[in-house]
Amino acid sequence: MPNIPAPTLHRLAVLTLQCMGSAAAEAEVVAKHLIRANLTGHDSHGISVLPMYVGIWQAGRLVPNQPLRVLMDQGALLLFDGGRGFGHRLAEESVRAAMRRAREFGACVMGLRNSSHVGRIGGYAEIAAAEGMTFVAFVNVADFPYCLAPWGASEARLGTNPFCASIPGEGGDPALLLDFATTTIAYNKARIALDAGRPVPEGALIDADGRPTTDPTGFIVDHTGALTAFGKHKGSGLAILCEALGAVLTGGQRGDEPHHTAILNSMLAIVIDTSRFAEAAALASGLGAVAASIHGARPVPGVADVLLPGEPEKRAAAERGANGVPVSAADWARLLGLARELGADAAAIDELAATVPQSVIA
Ligand code: NAD
């Protein structure tokens, strides 16, 4: 599998997004979040989603250059509508607006409803941490076939509804960043497993009859069966709360409303100016003590290090930033072909293609 430098992937994403009509600034922001997902090890939300975005855009369910529409502005409470615009841009803008209010009022509760896919939620937590903000987000997924079987059910009734919470550390990095789909594995991880001809982990999927399976074919191709919730009734409950807080409270589209194969995300985010609660030195000392305690725990056999939430992503970003992002030869060819099909500048695409030696791809 070739390792492609992040700037090469970023450039290809920008060219593709501009062909979809995105203005340069929007294409840059969306590409930044996609490639950050790759860098942090979440390829499921990286550049490989572009063909899906093109399909949704061609169906008229993703609208480039959509402005953030203000629905409610009451100081520390904000509500925006995304109008099916590019979610990465709208989520970043709305989180930045909430951060300005948190700076002013100490905290802000912000709703963003009905944007297209916002991708990796942790990207917004990182933006918040860079300015000393604590961040919590409940997100729902709508306008997409059901994915998650609630605890005790043999069929799906919810999206992969992600949850994210983070607290900033020193130097603008999150000290802790927990960010996950409430399904045992993210939907796109099942898709990647199918493309690679691999089974999904045991316990992650049930088939159309509610029986455990590791074969993602029926789930991805026919939308039958369901992903299980992580953590049994607890993850299932959190997924339901993501639906209620992310979509019902904000007035966003619910997963149970008529859907297509597009994606709408609605999010309720709580942004807190951390410095109002804790002095920097006390916070650093407390978080340092928690980290030392966790890191000092004796690992079980087969585990090298006991990690904090957010550490796997930091490690991946360091490694992939230095060595490039592994992209399968088939995906690389598909992404170059897609950009060409959409009419991207041929010379620019040839130049990007030439950066990966044929010997690596063959
Ligand atoms: P995952 O199962 O890889 O879990 C990631 C979380 O677990 C991170 O916080 C990570 O730091 C932590 N973690 C992982 N291994 C760890 C270890 N060994 N020790 C300690 N902590 C560890 O993530 P996922 O469920 O596959 O989700 C992947 C991404 O998909 C997330 O970024 C999520 O936001 C995104 N997502 C987005 C949507 C959407 O609609 N926009 C929907 C679902 C998921």
pLDDT tens by residue, 102-150: 999 999 999 999 999 999 999 999 999 999 999 999 999 999 999 999 9
33 falls in which pLDDT band (50, 70, 90)? Answer: very high
Per-residue pLDDT at 333: 94
* Mean pLDDT computed over every residue of the chain: 96
| Closest to 168 (Cα-Cα) out of 246, 278, 321 | 278
Q: Which residues pair with 138 in a beta bridge?
A: 163, 268
With a 6 A CB cut-off, is 313 part of the ligand 1 pocket? yes
- How many Å lie between the centroid of ligand 1 and the Cα of residue 205? 17
**Is the confidence at residue 34, as pLDDT, over 80?**
yes
158 falls in which pLDDT band (50, 70, 90)? Answer: very high
Per-residue pLDDT at 141: 98
Q: Whose alpha carbon is nearest atom 40 of ligand 1? A: 141
Percent of the chain, pLDDT > 90? 92
Cα distance between residue 297 and residue 306, in whole Å: 7
Ligand 1, from 126, 179, 290, 308: best to mutate by most atoms within 8 Å of Cβ? 179
Question: What's the whole-number mean pLDDT along residues 193-221?
Answer: 95
Cα distance between residue 325 and residue 161, in whole Å: 26
Cα distance between residue 204 and residue 213, in whole Å: 8
Per-residue pLDDT at 135: 98
Q: Whose alpha carbon is nearest atom 12 of ligand 1? A: 309
Per-residue pLDDT at 260: 85
Please identify which residue in the block is written with the tokens 């607290």: 167
With a 6 A CB cut-off, is 1 part of the ligand 1 pocket? no
211: its two tokens: 């029986």
**Is the confidence at residue 355, as pLDDT, over 90?**
no
* pLDDT tens digits, one per residue of 213-260: 999 999 999 989 999 999 999 999 999 999 999 999 999 999 999 988
72: its two tokens: 């409610």
Per-residue pLDDT at 359: 59
With a 6 A CB cut-off, is 247 part of the ligand 1 pocket? no
**Is the confidence at residue 99, as pLDDT, over 70?**
yes
- How many Å lie between the centroid of ligand 1 and the Cα of residue 340? 32
Looking at ligand 1, which atom is closest to the CA of residue 122? 32
pTM, 2 dp: 0.97
Is residue 38 a contact partner of residue 319, using CB atoms and an 8 Å limit? no
- How many Å lie between the centroid of ligand 1 and the Cα of residue 309? 9
The full length of the chain comes to 362
356 falls in which pLDDT band (50, 70, 90)? Answer: confident
- The 3-state DSSP class for residue 139 equals strand
Question: What's the whole-number mean pLDDT along residues 309-321?
Answer: 98
Lowest mean pLDDT across 21-30, 243-252, 309-318, 347-356: 347-356
**Is the confidence at residue 337, as pLDDT, over 70?**
yes
- The 3-state DSSP class for residue 255 equals coil
8-state DSSP, 49: G
Sign of the dihedral through C-alpha 32, 39, 352, 119? negative
With a 6 A CB cut-off, is 22 part of the ligand 1 pocket? no
With a 6 A CB cut-off, is 186 part of the ligand 1 pocket? yes
Cα distance between residue 306 and residue 353, in whole Å: 40
| Closest to 263 (Cα-Cα) out of 165, 122, 147 | 147
Cα distance between residue 131 and residue 99, in whole Å: 8
The residues spanned by each domain of the chain are: 1-65+313-362
- How many Å lie between the centroid of ligand 1 and the Cα of residue 179? 5
Q: Whose alpha carbon is nearest atom 19 of ligand 1? A: 307
Q: Which fold has domain 1-65+313-362?
A: Hypothetical Oxidoreductase Yiak; Chain: A, domain 1 (1.10.1530)
Pairing of strands 77-81, 107-115: parallel
Please identify which residue in the block is written with the tokens 């509508």: 81
Per-residue pLDDT at 2: 85
